[in-house]
Amino acid sequence: MLCVGRNKLAGHRPRVNDRQGDLLTPADSPVRWYALSDSKVWRTPEWFLELVRQLGVIGLDPCSNPDSLVHALVEYMLERGENGLAHSWRGHGLVFVNPPYGRDEIEPFLLKAWREFHAITDGDQCILLVPANTDTAWFQRYCSTASALCFYGKTRDPRSRSRIQFLPPVGKEVDPKDNTSTVANLVVYWGAQVELFRATFSPYGWVP
């Protein structure tokens, strides 16, 4: 897992008013996009959540589902008519986000995280688990402002592989190759505990 601090990224402030490319703008509705999503539910494995919890108790999961293993103090679920993009993510301490991976579904969550956490000065933190699509506009403009990034890779931990194997809904049997991410994984972090973040995730890859 390649861990990159903010100062090592050639990033710049996202042009959220720019309608070129595939970026959202303030006039667009991430809430509407998420509410209309019919993405399959793939759950984050417990071993990965154990790493996230090293940074603190997970206070909010805005992308939860009835079978989630995150067990955040506050959970928003579409199944209950709750839309995580329609509520503030601040004031919950550590926020963990594993968003839907549809083509138009990842960016609304990165935009939400950037808006709420890129200039934080308190103890709030946000971790997102997204595809490592470094050639996308959302990576260049939002992820480049993060406090730290980790590109997941091969590790010595027998529970992990070169790509994270997500868990299917409870009661659904799937071929292991069908629940493994088809692209590399990226962990995006906004918060003040950069050194703890690096120490926690660096055993899972290369730290430059």
Q: Which domain holds residue 66?
A: 2-204
State pLDDT tens for residues 12-52: 444 443 323 333 333 344 443 333 334 456 789 999 999 99
List the beta strands (DSSP E) in 65-110.
74-77, 94-97
Q: Is-above-0.95 flag for pTM?
A: no
| Most confident region among 3-7, 13-17, 48-52, 143-147 by mean pLDDT | 48-52
Nearest to 43 by CA among 136, 179, 146, 156: 179
Q: What is the CATH number of the domain that holds 168?
A: 3.40.50
Please compute the mean of the pLDDT values over residues 63-74 and round it to a whole number: 94
Helix residue ranges per DSSP H, the chain: 30-35, 46-52, 106-117, 137-141, 194-201
Does the structure show a pLDDT above 60 at 113?
Answer: yes
Number of domains in the chain: 1
Q: Which phi and psi (to 5°) does residue 2 adopt?
A: -80, 125
| Residue 203: predicted pLDDT | 84
Residue 154: what pLDDT?
Answer: 64
